Amino acid sequence: MPKPSKPAANELPVNNTVKLTEALRTRVTKGMEIGGFSVWSEFCRVALTEKCQVLESELRNRDPKEFSRIYGKE
């Protein structure tokens, strides 16, 4: 049996064990349909990217020094 390959330095380990309530699963399914997504992983990637962008923008506006400390100089 081959050994699993190690992720590249810029990749995080994959974790596909997200547990959703039935209500949230229904919302996600509807959101995927509205957004034209047919693949769960792509929907998650886009959603996580958008969430990070919002949080980064909020931190940049609220505390530029802390933003620079965490993300480095732009």
pLDDT at 9: 60
Sorted by where each begins, the domain ranges of the chain are: 50-74
pLDDT at 3: 58
Q: Alpha-carbon distance 21 to 62, whole Å?
A: 33
Task: Measure the CA angle with vertex 50, ends 36 and 6; round to 5°.
Answer: 95
Q: What is the DSSP letter of 9?
A: T
Check: CB of residue 32 under 8 Å from CB of residue 40: yes
Q: Measuring CA to CA, how many Å separate 53 from each of 1, 19, 33, 57, 60?
A: 40, 24, 23, 6, 10
For the full predicted model, state whether its pTM sits above 0.85.
Answer: no
Per-residue confidence of the chain (74 residues) as pLDDT tens digits?
A: 555 555 566 666 666 677 889 999 999 999 999 999 999 889 999 999 999 999 999 999 999 999 999 998 65
